[in-house]
Structure 1
Amino acid sequence: MLQEAELSIDDGAQESKNMKFAIKTFCKSGRARVGLLQLTTLGNKEIIEIETPALLLTTRKGLPAFIPPDHLPFLPSPDSRLLHFSPMHFMECPDLKTISKIGGVHRLLGLQGYGFVAVPRDSILSLPECNSSNKNGASFETPCGRFLVKPLEYMKMISSMKPDLWVSLADEVHASVTVKRNKVSVDRTITWLDTCISLKPRDGVLFGSIVGGCNVEERTRCAQEVAKRNVSGYYIGGFGLGDSIDERSTYLHAVTDSLPKEKPRQVCGLGLPEEVLQGIAAGIDLFDSTYIYHLTLEGFALIFPLNNDKCTQDPQLCPMASDYTKINLKATVYRKDTSRIVEGCTCYTCQNHTKAYINHLLNVHEMLAQILLEIHNTHHYLSFFRLIREAITEGKFEEFRQKFIQNRRGHLLAASPITFELESPVR
């Protein structure tokens, strides 16, 4: 339970009854923090307690792309019990009346004990298309085509799907837009937030969206305006849309400086380990990332050391198949490799299968390959978040961050240039 000395949310809103958040530890030299998120799921009123910083598992229509429901229990719990989805995934079918009649996404998917977080945008199936957005609504590119979603339509989706936590509609723009267009996006996002607040359902927790592109003043203005509203947390959008990782810290700090410390912050668009560490250093609590999805899709498995020690260059790791942070299990070097992906890893995949078997599955295009890979990659990345929380608690976050980035940079530089040709954009 939350201790009296901790900061907690109690703004008198109905939705705060379904969520409590408390800061357990602040980093002594920085903004990184460890918190505890208590979420009462609307599926069965079960309380999920998750320590932050935490990862929301990316899904397609509510489920991880390659992990069926009966395999979800193989993931670390409760760390894996927050699922991110976009309502836009359901634009084609089933219709909203059917979802509402069934009882929302929890009962539709049979996952009453999981927390569902609804965000309009993701980086797989629902991409913001700012050139087609207008004052009436936000435009999204989906596999079913381009859709203009108005605030009223969006709220009908939320009311029907009944997510535990949901983000207000935002006009997210690319980093290359003009100053005028960026300002308009902030104005629209604030207006739409007010509409979402006025139409919000009785249950569910609302996070207010913050945008502002690559402009410190607009980011600050949007954050200050959203902080005045009756919301339980904040969604920081507009990243991963052409912005530079070198300049991102400035924008993140501008936002978090303008937000109350006692409420949780979620960000979209930061997926690589370095980007996650960058966000945590700015005081971000929740991350939704497609990093695991893209790794799995391309046949990669995470192998970077979880003790943050320098990775020794295993002679069995072929430079063409590995950069010492991940390995390409499609490579022929693993055809007869009977070892586990990571020795000592406790995930289902490493406990039961070898690199040779997954290599075989990948090369015969058997979907079980992606299932086993996503289980391992998710388990490994959740363990990475656990180590981050431990480092913050011990007052060693900056040391952990710098050492991790330095080691990873060294591994990438040591890898053969051929590796990068094989990897496509996955880093």
Structure 2
Amino acid sequence: MSGRKIFELIASAAADGSAARLGKLSLPGRKAIETPNFIAATSRGSVPHLTPDNFKRHTTVSGVYMALEEFIEKKEPPIQHTPVGETSRRLHSFTALPSSTVSILGPRRCAAVATPFGNTPKTITVFTSTGFRNVTIPEFTSYIQSLQPDIVLPLADLPNPGATPSSKKLARMVDRTEMWLGEFFDRMALSKSSDTLGSSVFAPVLPVGHPIQWDYIRHLSEDVIEKLSGLAVYDTNILPDLVSYPSLAPLPKLSMDTPRTPHEVLRQISLGIDICTLMFVNSTSDAGVGMTFSFPPPSSDKVQPLGINMWSPEHDTAVAPLVEGCQCYTCTKHHRAYLRHLLNAKEMLGWNLLQIHNHHVVNEFFAGIRETLGKGQAVFEDAVNRFAAAYEPLFPEGTGERPRARGYHFKSEAGSEKINKPAWTDLEKGAEVTEITSLVEDDTPSSEDQDVTPAARVTIKATAVPFGFE
């Protein structure tokens, strides 16, 4: 199996490509991605709050990240039985992804749910809609051969979120990842899939210090470099150490170390990241916040917020767009008062419009980065410093009720509450029995001074059930 050379380096601050740089990622049958750029994070193959037609019509997102664990809840998942044509890919067909959009498939979500038990020497633990299970290398390879994503991230032995493994365990993680990568390449080499539908491989670079994984990185740069099309970096702090491996410099670098703010995005790009996986777009839209930042930043004597809280009462009668001059569908067709009304009414259209706007803002943000980089490294660094001074470090918090969390009613730790509360109450629990006395007319003529007979008095037992919809 040979790696596709899919990345063209256009300009970089250093010959080794270790700093911010301009490039172009080109995959067969897909729209070229100018870098630096971003990919959207999905939930079960869809960008949250956006149907496939609106995603295609109202956004310019170049690529999406999907997690295999969201599709394999059954022994024979439905995605495996999706019909495909001669030149289409099953993953695109099942998710109704636009043909021009790049699909990136990894084993776990971004960010992954903590598992109650770790990986084994031959499997990783994933979380599906029906619970936790193990995935082997042969199983993972068979899914890749069947689904044919544009880019695949092979299995990596990653620690649980928030965990601090010992140095001994870190070394074991590196050894397992190298072994799994070798087995993955061996099995893919036996695949009969054609080169036109093959997947480009982005090898994982672990969130481990360079002294522990240096031999693994050397292995990537010397032994399997011809099979690689890029690198998936799980800790961007290791990027300066990759300068010591010149053969890795031409490869595109995808950040799986998800930034939380645009400030962190700029830092990662300054370190040499080409494509960022962004989660904060979804979380910001969930919070009811519309993004307002731009790059390069506008001149202002006052520190500006990164977004506006659309739950605020000050928008009740505001007929202005979210951002003056914004050309997204939301800002050109609707105003703040309407958006606030939708959120207050819990109408999903409110989050739809926010998601369209926020993706447009991020797309313009990266376009500004590329334009500034084209003017030189010094101009870019100056703009980064001005951006840090011009905007607040964090997004504002939405003050309203968020939509129901995507995902599943899982308990990853003992005693933890479910991520979503039930939308309906149990009809059997908390039921109160009350007696309602009703008078029933009989056939006997009544008179004003005639008592109601016992036979005409009927007692009805009724159940009063409290219920509601979230």
Could you tell me whether the CA contact under 8 Å between 1:210 and 1:226 is conserved in 2? no
CA–CA distance in structure 2, aligned partners of residues 256 and 299 of structure 1: 41
Query: Could you say which residue in structure 1 is the equivalent of 2:146?
Result: 160
Query: Could you say which residue in structure 1 is the equivalent of 2:386?
Result: 403
State yes or no: 1:222 paired with 2:205. no
Query: Could you say which residue in structure 2 is the equivalent of 1:122?
Result: 109
Query: Superposition pairs for residues 137-286 of structure 1, below 5 Å?
Result: 137-174=123-160, 176-200=164-188, 201=191, 202=193, 203-213=198-208, 215-227=209-221, 228-229=223-224, 230-237=227-234, 239=235, 249=237, 251-255=238-242, 257-258=244-245, 260-271=248-259, 272-286=261-275
Alignment length (residue pairs) = 377
CA–CA distance in structure 1, aligned partners of residues 276 and 55 of structure 2: 19
CA–CA distance in structure 1, aligned partners of residues 296 and 384 of structure 2: 12
Q: Measured at CA, do residues 14 and 58 of structure 1 come closer, stay the same or move farther in structure 2, by a change above 3 Å? A: same
State yes or no: 1:53 paired with 2:53. no
**Match of 1:204, as an amino acid?**
S
**Match of 1:352, as an amino acid?**
K
Could you tell me whether the CA contact under 8 Å between 1:256 and 1:282 is conserved in 2? no
Could you tell me whether the CA contact under 8 Å between 1:171 and 1:189 is conserved in 2? yes
- Secondary structure in 1 aligned to 2:294? coil
- Report the Cα offset of residue 141 of structure 1: 3.5
Could you tell me whether the CA contact under 8 Å between 1:141 and 1:147 is conserved in 2? yes
Q: Measured at CA, do residues 84 and 421 of structure 1 come closer, stay the same or move farther in structure 2, by a change above 3 Å? A: closer
Could you tell me whether the CA contact under 8 Å between 1:233 and 1:263 is conserved in 2? yes
Q: Measured at CA, do residues 299 and 256 of structure 1 come closer, stay the same or move farther in structure 2, by a change above 3 Å? A: farther
**Structure 2 regions of 5+ residues with no counterpart?**
402-470
- Report the Cα offset of residue 421 of structure 1: 9.1
CA–CA distance in structure 2, aligned partners of residues 324 and 291 of structure 1: 15
Could you tell me whether the CA contact under 8 Å between 2:309 and 2:398 is conserved in 1? no
**Match of 2:294, as an amino acid?**
P
State yes or no: 1:299 paired with 2:296. no
Could you tell me whether the CA contact under 8 Å between 1:85 and 1:118 is conserved in 2? yes
**Structure 1 regions of 5+ residues with no counterpart?**
1-12, 41-45, 240-247, 315-322
- Report the Cα offset of residue 313 of structure 1: 5.3
State yes or no: 1:290 paired with 2:279. yes
Q: Measured at CA, do residues 357 and 389 of structure 1 come closer, stay the same or move farther in structure 2, by a change above 3 Å? A: same
Query: Superposition pairs for residues 342-357 of structure 1, below 5 Å?
Result: 342-357=323-338
CA–CA distance in structure 2, aligned partners of residues 403 and 219 of structure 1: 36
**Match of 2:285, as an amino acid?**
T
CA–CA distance in structure 1, aligned partners of residues 331 and 280 of structure 2: 20
Q: Measured at CA, do residues 145 and 351 of structure 1 come closer, stay the same or move farther in structure 2, by a change above 3 Å? A: same
TM-score, normalising length: structure 1: 0.81
* Structure showing greater Rg: 2
- Report the Cα offset of residue 32 of structure 1: 0.7
Could you tell me whether the CA contact under 8 Å between 2:7 and 2:250 is conserved in 1? yes
Q: Deviations over 1:355-389 (max 9, x none)?
A: 11111111111111111111111110111111111
- Report the Cα offset of residue 143 of structure 1: 4.3
CA–CA distance in structure 2, aligned partners of residues 161 and 130 of structure 1: 28
CA–CA distance in structure 2, aligned partners of residues 61 and 54 of structure 1: 22
Higher helix share: 1
- Report the Cα offset of residue 61 of structure 1: 2.0
The one of 326, 334, 341 aligned to 1:360: 341
CA–CA distance in structure 2, aligned partners of residues 127 and 371 of structure 1: 25
Q: Measured at CA, do residues 75 and 399 of structure 1 come closer, stay the same or move farther in structure 2, by a change above 3 Å? A: farther
Query: Superposition pairs for residues 64-79 of structure 1, below 5 Å?
Result: 64-75=47-58, 77=60
Query: Could you say which residue in structure 2 is the equivalent of 1:243?
Result: none
Query: Could you say which residue in structure 2 is the equivalent of 1:89?
Result: 70
Could you tell me whether the CA contact under 8 Å between 2:42 and 2:65 is conserved in 1? yes
**Match of 2:364, as an amino acid?**
S
CA–CA distance in structure 2, aligned partners of residues 220 and 404 of structure 1: 35
**Match of 2:232, as an amino acid?**
Y
CA RMSD after TM alignment: 2.7
TM-score, normalising length: structure 2: 0.74
CA–CA distance in structure 1, aligned partners of residues 156 and 386 of structure 2: 36
**Match of 1:53, as an amino acid?**
P
CA–CA distance in structure 2, aligned partners of residues 130 and 188 of structure 1: 19
**Match of 2:230, as an amino acid?**
G
- Report the Cα offset of residue 153 of structure 1: 1.4
Could you tell me whether the CA contact under 8 Å between 1:211 and 1:222 is conserved in 2? no
CA–CA distance in structure 1, aligned partners of residues 168 and 91 of structure 2: 38
Q: Measured at CA, do residues 280 and 149 of structure 1 come closer, stay the same or move farther in structure 2, by a change above 3 Å? A: same
Give the share of equivalent positions with the same residue, in percent: 24
State yes or no: 1:340 paired with 2:317. no
CA–CA distance in structure 2, aligned partners of residues 368 and 74 of structure 1: 16
